[in-house]
Structure 1
Amino acid sequence: MDIYQHFRKEEIPFIQQVEDWKTNVGTMYEAKLSNFLDPRERDIVAAVVGQDDTVNVAFFGGVAAAERQRALLYPFYEHAEEDRFQVELFEVDYDRKFANIQHRDLLGALTSLGVKRELFGDITVTNEVLQFFVAEEIGDFVRLNLTKTGNMPLALRSQPLAKAVRTEEHWQEDAGFVSSLRLDVVIAAIYHLPRAKVKPYIERERVKLNWKVVDQPGTLVTEGDVISVRGKGRSKLIAVEERSRKGRLRIVYGRKRL
């Protein structure tokens, strides 16, 4: 079976990279640890490795339900203990009387250091705690250089993974009708926006499909796809049902509660 037929054209370079990882592990018998992967990328890794007798794969991102996780491809005779994933947890202290740091603030502070997004994992923000995961190989760099966000001083403390705060995503399920599964049409239905206003969002790269920026309004959406619209939250296409008598498709979708 040709694995490429199950994925989008733009995902082929990553598929080929994973195939190289698998080949190297299978011939050299040396494990390969990836950077942090989003759920779509993990699906690709799992599909490429498949039910292989020589190479196994496991995922971990600091907590079991992390959205962003590292992949470990390893020979069949080894085990995937958590410490092999080299994930470090930082907790951020700051004066909450003068600021309320959000996910986007910490994300911006990290990227402003030149840290690539694939080198840090989930960011957890609650009323009491601000935490994030990073690859251990950049832990010292982050500890020394992440000293503020905006004008707010930060203090980082390394914590054991057992102290990671778990948060659950809550989705509000709903349904609607669309004329097609074009990205702009689906977004208009899910977010209750005029289609004319959706196109500029996409063309200005304010929309992500499966965690990747897309700029083509005509991109087709399929069941299971996750859509993010900047400033309007995240949604996912749960199901596509039969056409109505008027020829419109009924879709079931979930929106993340903000």
Structure 2
Amino acid sequence: MKEETELIKQKLKDLARRCYQKNTYMFSDFLTLNQQAVFHSLKKEISYVDFSLWGGVPGCERQMVRFGSLEQLGFLEDFPISCITVKPLQRKFSEDLTHRDFLGALMNLGIDRCVIGDIILREGVGYMICQDKIADYIADSLDRVRHTSVTCSVEKEMPSQAEPQLKEEILVVSAPRCDSIVAKAYQMSRNQSLLLFQSRKIFVNGQQYENNSGMLNVKDVVSVRGHGKFIYSGILQETKKGRFRVKIEKYV
């Protein structure tokens, strides 16, 4: 694990250095939440270069780092990201496909996971975010997901169906602490939520978050590995019994 972390650090620092020296944009692969946490730990070391993160659509878990900016380089370059829309050839004969099915189909093509971003499912259709360089190959090669025959199309502009869908929820918690809100949001005990913090499975705005008693800020995006993600919208009111009504928006 330590060796992998050091390797990621070196790759990211090298991209930052090349951007600065060559006066051109440099892009990372799609980073997991853990890898993004590693990136955030490097901010002081690479403060000499501008950067931004993007995953194709708002709220993506896997994101790419772009080193460079319009202000720094004098020109703008888009993230090299495409979306592949994967539809069953015959919807009525389609299986109930899962995220794992789509990912497995890509792995069977011999594709590295790092060039694939989020995979979004909407009503039996898959939207695979990927790097531009691999998009045509996937579209030409992918003709089956599990036992379902599919057709693929490459789109540079993200389809509206791939945009995040949010469900508003009102929670009543004993205290507006991160662990209380996570526990209530995913119907678990406080001890269970504490284990998630201790296992480093909680991320706030892409950064690892270990302070279970910490207070969230409005618009913070909280990712809970293995459970989901939500946007914290703040405290609505304090009840007569001293509890708090808070609002979140869950990604669905």
TM superposition score category, shorter chain reference = 0.5 to 0.7
- Residues 46-94 of structure 1: per-residue CA shift (max 9 Å, x gap): 9828996x6333444445x362443321372342232xx2222212121
Match of 2:184 in 1: 189
> How many pairs does the alignment contain?
233
Query: Which consecutive unaligned segments of at least 5 residues does structure 2 have?
Result: none
Provide TM-score, normalisation by structure 2: 0.64
Runs (4+) of structure 1 moved beyond 6 Å?
10-13, 49-52
For the residue of structure 1 that corresponds to 2:168, the secondary structure is: strand
RMSD, aligned α-carbons: 4.8
Q: Given the alignment of the two structures, is residue 256 of structure 1 paired with residue 250 of structure 2, yes or no?
A: yes
Q: Given the alignment of the two structures, is residue 74 of structure 1 paired with residue 68 of structure 2, yes or no?
A: yes
Question: What percentage of residue pairs aligned between the two structures are identical?
Answer: 19
- TM alignment of 1:22-171, pairs within 5 A: 22-37=16-31, 41=36, 48=43, 55-63=49-57, 65=58, 67=60, 68-74=62-68, 76-82=72-78, 85-94=79-88, 95-98=90-93, 99-127=95-123, 129-161=125-157, 163=159, 165-171=161-167
AA of the residue aligned to 2:147:
N
AA of the residue aligned to 1:92:
V
Query: Which consecutive unaligned segments of at least 5 residues does structure 1 have?
Result: 1-9
> Is this contact kept in 2: 1:58–1:80, CA < 8 A?
no
> Is this contact kept in 2: 1:209–1:225, CA < 8 A?
no
Q: 1:39, CA displacement in angstroms?
A: 7.6
Q: 1:32, CA displacement in angstroms?
A: 1.3
Provide TM-score, normalisation by structure 1: 0.62
CA–CA separation in structure 2 for the residues paired with 1:179 and 1:42: 27
Q: Which has the higher contact order (CA 8 A, sep 6+)?
A: 2
Q: 1:112, CA displacement in angstroms?
A: 4.9
For the residue of structure 1 that corresponds to 2:92, the secondary structure is: coil
